[in-house]
Amino acid sequence: MFNFKAKKFLSKDIGIDLGTASVLVYVDGSGIVLNEPSVVAIDKNTDCIAKIGKDAQVMLGRNPSNIEIVRPLRAGVIDRYDVTEKMIQYFIHRACGNTFVRPRLVICIPTGVSEVEERAVIDAGTNAGARKTYLVAEPVAAAVGAGVDIHNPTGNMIVDIGGGTTDIAVISMGGIVVSKSIKIAGDKFDEAIMQYVRRKYNIAIGEYTAEQIKIKIGAVYEHRDARVMQVKGRCLVQGLPKVIELSSKEMLEAMMEPISAIFDAVCSVIEETPPELVGDILKNGIILTGGGSQLYGLDRLMADVIEIRTRVAKEPTKCVAMGTGIILKYLDNLPEGVIDLSRVKKKK
């Protein structure tokens, strides 16, 4: 009979938002305990992982020749299996420490992934130390995390704009009715900014700088007072360092191409949605989640273009992770694999 404090050694269920740009880890009973970039630094000489997460991200564009900086996930799916497995293992250990019983794990995946890609995620989770690995579609987890009662027989549209993919889905009665996943999201916003600066100013900037521009002055709707930012890069004509000043007004032009592609995808999903559910969407509006939804004015522009009321969820970057945390309570008696909440009774 145990007569010592063993709570910390017991297994706890874990939910992971395994994103292209970042990884959020939810531990049952503790909430979100980790929010780290999904970046890994590998030492080429030893073929071992040197840094993971924030420690690896700060090395982007500054790494020595013997260190390779990789993003093991591309467009929401595993690109480097071995690196992804070690990254998940690292985050599980950081979140839970040492446990007697291996944890059960819920991982989010984009809609429309193949069975091979699903199997790869399950194997990566299991090999990283999970007792059982479950998968849930990102827009479903995002809807749950945004406070939507997905078990109601009404339609709700979720647009989850992550780092590598934008997942659009109409959800009703616990399941996805219509969905679409496109490989246009935050990373493409960064690429669009890099191309704009190169095209207009003949200046080359890196991915990290483009991301900072997006975060600080990125906009798709005009500010009342334009924001400005000084940007350092390399002049492509002289080959020397140069400083320019960018404004939020320029971002409207820079990011219009990827934003237009997202709007086209939203419209195509609405076109395939049954008429009764379209009426629900007109009433309930469109909910934006994910880091890309924080782009200034995106909700207002989408409402203007698509003519459906649009709002950004509270704490949009955490919705998917919060959703996996809520879904953890449905795991009892569920088989390992893809979770279908339409077959699960609503918990009171």
CATH number, domain at 99?
3.30.420.40
- What digits encode the pLDDT tens for the residues 55-74? 888 887 788 889 999 888 88
Starting at the earlier edge strand, list the strands of the sheet with 203-204.
Answer: 203-204, 228-235, 241-247
Alpha carbon distance 118, 134 (integer Å): 10
Q: Confidence class of residue 4 from pLDDT cuts 50, 70 and 90? A: very low
With residue 158 as reference, give the H or E element that holds it: strand 156-161
One domain for residues 96 and 218 = no
Residue 222 lies in a domain: yes
* Total of domains in the chain: 3
Q: How are beta strands 175-182 and 166-172 bridged, if at all?
A: antiparallel
How high is the mean pLDDT of the chain? 89
Region class of 313: left (phi > 0), else alpha (psi between -120 and 50), else beta: beta
Q: What is the mean pLDDT of residues 182-187?
A: 93
Last residue of a domain, one of 254, 272, 300: 254
Global pTM exceeds 0.85: yes
Residue 2 lies in a domain: no
One domain for residues 126 and 229 = no
Could you tell me which residue, 167 or 74, shows the higher pLDDT?
Answer: 167
One domain for residues 231 and 283 = no
What is the predicted pLDDT for the residue at 11? 61
One domain for residues 74 and 208 = no
Residue 19 lies in a domain: yes
One domain for residues 180 and 310 = yes
Q: Which domain holds residue 83?
A: 8-141+320-343
One domain for residues 84 and 168 = no
Alpha carbon distance 71, 125 (integer Å): 17
One domain for residues 16 and 132 = yes
Residue 111 lies in a domain: yes
One domain for residues 92 and 78 = yes
